[in-house]
Amino acid sequence: MTILEEKITTGNVLLEAKEYKKAIQAYQEAIKESTIVEQKIDIYNTLGRIELTLGNNAKAINNFIESLKLHQELPEEKAIPLKINRATILNNLGLITIKTNPKEAMKYHKEALIIFKEAFEENKNNFAIHLANTHYSYGDAAYAKGDYYMAKKQYKDAVTLYDTLKKNHNVEPFIANAYYNLGNVYTDENNVYDARTNYLRALKIFRKLAEKEPEAFRSLVAATFNNLAVTAKTMYKYSDAITYYENALKEYETLIELDRETFLPFYAATLNSIGIVYTEQHEVKDDYDSFGLTGFSGFGTLSTDNSIDNKEKKEEIEKLRKQKALTYYAKAIEIYSELVVNHPELYSHYLATCHHNLGVLYDTKSDYKKAEESFEKALKIRRDLAKQQPEFFNLDVCVTLFNIVTMYQNLLEQTVNIGFKDISLKILEEITVRLESYKEDKRPILESMRSDLTYFKNYFKRINEEYLDVFDAIVKENAVIEKINETFDPSEKLKMQKHVVNLYYTLLQKHPNNPRLKEVLLNAYIKYSWFALRSNELSIAEKAIENGFKMDKNSLNLKANEGHLYLLKGDISKFRAIYKSIKNEINSENNSYDKIIKHDLEILKRDGLLSKYKISELITG
């Protein structure tokens, strides 16, 4: 036995015994002894596979590249028989480099694809599976690089080939994964419809495979349900999203029994996600579209009942949804709190997110005390994380701070408590400092934060007692308007509008130079005079019009009401004179006063005030 043969034999024995480091040493010594190119290629390939097994990717790459170099030294008659070997090396290099250099990985797979296509043309039976696998790997590399067009093309080509191999090869897992990956690509392209189609195809196969091999495929079933839920939520199909998440939860519950450490975090993440859906779910037309899936809660279809007109029942449904969200968030927080004990570096971020989302839920329920408590819990964790890794967690801190500021804005406007101004401005200063480190970062999320920061700073800086008085009055007017709109009786409308006029008139005495107050009081007089006209309270209408003209002598709306007043008093000529003077004017909503006045006359006639007149005769004479 020669030294070379001895070294190769020793390497093979050590490799069989999994003495990898010693085997590497033997093979490296064999390469030094070898003078045959084909033999060196084989040894380098073996070394590459061993290094790959040991997780030494860089060394594996070096060995495979050395093998490729030797391939190039071969004369054509020797290179041709080793083409498949070369394609295999290229695919190995693609698989290794996909995470660190996906562009390079694409190049390797593309070159392998050319070789396998040629081999496939010569012998379809032997090389179809290799060609299909190369298409699949090429798709992975293209997706990693962000080349979505090429990723879709390669995955689809892979599926087409795999479909021809079903009888003789176990390719269904590859087909399912290809559909799953296509779903991911379409999701990243915001093409939710094609994403859903491909996820559903993947789900069908994964569920079938899970029946035979549950330990191998149940986690993929759960992951596909999760992705379908995300897609459904994007499509505003909330009930579908809930259905998919609930099915995912059931799968994870089974998986947790088998491997708690691995799958408990996934279970918690799904709980948080379904909580978000219940928080955001509204009465919308999100037709139930579960494709015959079983095992969903009836609650998941609530949003499809669009015939509900009963306000109390709607409120009860909304209350139930919020309670569902609260339950899911609480369970997710409980799990993450458990996980944080042993792995704070992994799960603190997720725990903070759950507290933040719970704060959002309480905020939407107007339970501001609990919302503040939840936001503060999230904030404490996120601030601690930002101290350790500011570049990763400062933005999370800002997100929670913005939510708190938004809540304080609502509280300020509801309670007219100016104390919320100083608190909010202090929070905005912290946001300003944290965003300073991202000066050159132009990502959309940061541009949005900068815009929000500017808005809130301007908003709170202009807040003073006068601003809040006016705002509070407008809120009160809006409440009166709702009641006005609920009645058809003009005299009832008149009584309620009088309160609005008195409200703004009194406030204008306190803040006589406020332009907004002058504007809303003018509009109040216009409405007051109109309701008085409809109620045939002409003296009240006349006084309201007179007071309105003191504020704006050129108001066309008051001018129109003045014309109606003359008409109801029987002075048709003065009505026609006003009509002719303003009929060609256009209001702020782009309606002509010709159209507006004719519409007003129809209402007055319907009220029984112009029964003896024909509107056309009133206008034309």
Q: For the chain, which domains are there? A: 465-620 (1.25.40.10)
Q: Rounded to whole angstroms, what are the CA distances from 100 to 106, 364, 615?
A: 12, 43, 80
The DSSP letter of residue 487 is -
Q: pLDDT (tens digit, 9 = 90+) per residue, 400-427? A: 999 999 999 999 988 888 999 999 999 9
The 10s digit of each residue's pLDDT in 430-461 is 999 999 989 889 999 999 999 999 999 999 99
Give the residue among 546, 425, 423, 523 at the shortest CA–CA distance from 473: 523
Using alpha carbons only, what angle is made at residue 188 by residues 294 and 100, rounded to the nearest 5 degrees?
115
**pLDDT of amino acid 621:** 60
With tokens 């037709």, the residue in question is: 287
- For residue range 147-161, what is the model confidence (pLDDT) as tens digits? 999 999 999 999 999
Q: What is the largest CA-CA distance in the chain?
A: 129
Q: What is the pLDDT of residue 282?
A: 62
The pLDDT value recorded for residue 620 is 76
Tell me the C-alpha distance between 272 and 229, whole Å.
13
CA distances from 614 to 381, 593, 602 (A): 74, 19, 10
Amino acid letter for position 301: T
Closest CA to 403 of 424, 380, 426: 424
Give φ, ψ of 553 to 5 degrees. -70, -10
Whether residue 8 is predicted with pLDDT greater than 70 in this model: the reply is yes
What is the model's pLDDT at position 125?
84
Average pLDDT of the chain is: 91
pLDDT higher at 618 or 64: 64
Does the pLDDT value for residue 306 go beyond 80? no
Q: What is the pLDDT of residue 592?
A: 93
One-letter identity of residue 271: L
d(Cα 267, Cα 273) in Å, to the nearest integer?
Answer: 10
Q: CA angle 388-392-394, nearest 5°?
A: 80
Exposed, middle or buried by CB within 10 Å (0-12, 13-18, 19+), for 109? buried
**pLDDT surpassing 90 at residue 281:** no
Residue type, 397: V
DSSP 8-class letter at 501 = H
| Distance separating the N- and C-terminal Cα atoms of the chain | 126
Q: So what's the pLDDT on residue 310?
A: 67
Please give the single-letter amino acid code of residue 357: N
Q: Is 191 left (phi over 0), alpha (psi -120 to 50) or beta?
A: beta
| Residue showing tokens 């069908």 | 204
Distance CA 49, CA 47 (A): 5
Q: Which residues, including other chains, have CB under 8 Å from residue 357's CB and lie 6 or more apart?
A: 272, 275, 276, 279, 329
Contact 295, 246 (CB under 8 A): yes
CA distances from 309 to 312, 313, 484 (A): 9, 8, 21
Q: Tell me what pLDDT residue 286 has.
A: 47
Tokens of 118: 């040629």
The pLDDT value recorded for residue 290 is 44
Q: How confident is the model at residue 299 (pLDDT cuts 50, 70, 90)?
A: very low
Q: How far is CA 599 from CA 567, 590, 616, in A?
A: 15, 15, 12
Question: How much is the pLDDT for 617?
Answer: 81
Residue range 115-131: mean pLDDT, rounded: 91
CA distance 12 to 6: 10
Whether the Cβ atoms of residue 201 and residue 228 lie closer than 8 Å to each other: no
From CA 579, how far away is CA 562, in angstroms rounded? 10
308 has pLDDT over 50:
no
DSSP, res 55 = T
Q: How confident is the model at residue 309 (pLDDT cuts 50, 70, 90)?
A: low
Q: What percent of the chain has pLDDT over 90?
A: 81
Give the list of residues 6+ apart from residue 245 with CB closer than 8 angstroms, or none.
Answer: 225, 226, 229, 270, 273, 274, 277
Q: What is the dihedral of CA 171, 173, 177, 178, to 10 degrees?
A: 20
pLDDT band at residue 303 under the 50/70/90 scheme: very low
Per residue, the 3-state secondary structure of 153-177, as one string, reads: HHHHHHHHHHHHCCCCCCCHHHHHH
Phi/psi for 586 (5° steps) reads -120, 135
Q: Please give the pLDDT value at position 481.
A: 94
Instruction: List C-alpha distances in Å: 18 to 14, 15, 188, 353, 612.
Output: 6, 5, 42, 45, 108
Instruction: Report the chain's C-alpha Rg in angstroms.
Output: 37
Strand, helix or coil for residue 586: strand
Confidence of residue 284 (pLDDT cuts 50, 70, 90): very low
